Amino acid sequence: MTMALYETDFYRWTQEQADLLRQGQFNRVDLDLANIAEEIESMGKSQRDAVESYLANIIMHLLKWRYQPERRGTRWELSIDNGRYQVSRKLRNNPSLKPHLSTMVNEEYRQARKNASWETGLPLVTFPDECPFTVDQITGDYWPD
């Protein structure tokens, strides 16, 4: 029943599993440990995915800011500022992600570069192969000239 419920009514499954855990019913047959573990891992991954997404968006806008200064505007500035706030908030709530920021930036740069090229209409070769911004610049108050 538990596995079927997990696949047919996820919300109900979460409520039943939470109740069993709160009651300390760890030996119950209907306590779905395998899926609970998978969901816990997924929750952690979603936090990392969110930080990566914000970083990619910040990097893309910083590239646009640097390489298309004539098009700078409030929307880009708000996007960068909001992304920085969201990264800061996620790191405050998930401090174990902080040591991974450099890796995340390196992983996300390629897509951010491609998106910046697409959005600006500038050739991909306009943008450096490697991220020109440090983690501190991306997450801090830095604005490219």
Which pLDDT tens digits describe the chain residue by residue (145 residues)?
A: 566 888 899 999 999 999 999 999 888 888 899 999 999 999 999 999 999 999 999 999 999 999 999 999 999 999 999 999 999 999 999 999 999 999 999 999 999 999 999 999 999 999 999 999 999 999 999 999 8
How far apart are alpha carbons 143 and 47 in whole angstroms?
Answer: 26
CA–CA distance, 31 with 137 (Å, rounded to integer): 46
pTM over 0.75: yes
> How long a stretch of residues is the chain?
145
